[in-house]
Amino acid sequence: MMNLESSEKREDWEEEGMRLEHRHDGQLWAIAGARECPVWVKRCFPWSAPGRFVSLRDRDENEVALVRDLAELGVDSRRALERSLAEAGFVIEVEGVEEVEDEIEIRHFRVRTKNGIRSFQTLRDEWPRTMPGGGLLIVDVAGDLYRVTDPGALDKKSQKKLAAFIG
């Protein structure tokens, strides 16, 4: 394992095709060529776009990389970063599903959270993603993240409304 040295710049990691992975130690790792470094996530402003501008920091809080948009990452790296964001608590926990309505290009969700009812929209081709270790992650059109920790523990009405979207 090569450690990130202070002389290494964020751009060096990004230019070398950095990828991200979750390892068995539970940490997110940034990997670029022969270099690798455990990192933690820090969301940047605007918080209205949580799927954009995520800073990846080493243990000394040096920025290793800036992810401008999760959509720009490869599938495996995006999933690893989504998992880290979910674990860091940058998501809204869904406790129940009140309503799901389909339109031509958009799906409308109305859900219960510990902070009350929330409504959001997803693109029709944006499906809930299964999280490692269980649970679902839903990304809305604004990039907000919604997590259903245990779909089987939801009330029957909520399970029925989600059944069409999970395998």
72 torsion bin: left (phi>0), alpha (psi -120 to 50), beta (else): alpha
pTM for the whole structure: 0.53
Tens of pLDDT along the chain (167 residues) come to 233 443 355 555 655 678 999 898 788 999 988 889 999 888 776 655 667 889 899 888 889 889 998 888 999 999 999 888 877 756 788 999 999 999 989 999 999 998 899 999 999 888 898 877 778 889 888 777 888 989 999 999 999 999 887 76
Instruction: Render pLDDT for 77-103 as a digit per residue (tens, 0 to 9).
Output: 999 998 888 777 567 889 999 999 999
Give CA–CA dist 103/18, Å, rounded. 38
> Residue 56 in 3-state DSSP?
strand
**Residue 91: HSE in the Cβ half-sphere, 13 Å Cα cutoff:** 23
Give CA–CA dist 25/51, Å, rounded. 25
At which residue do the structure tokens 């993240």 appear? 145
Full DSSP string of 19-60: EEEE-TTS-EEEEETTEEEEEEEEE-S-TT-TTEEEEEE-TT
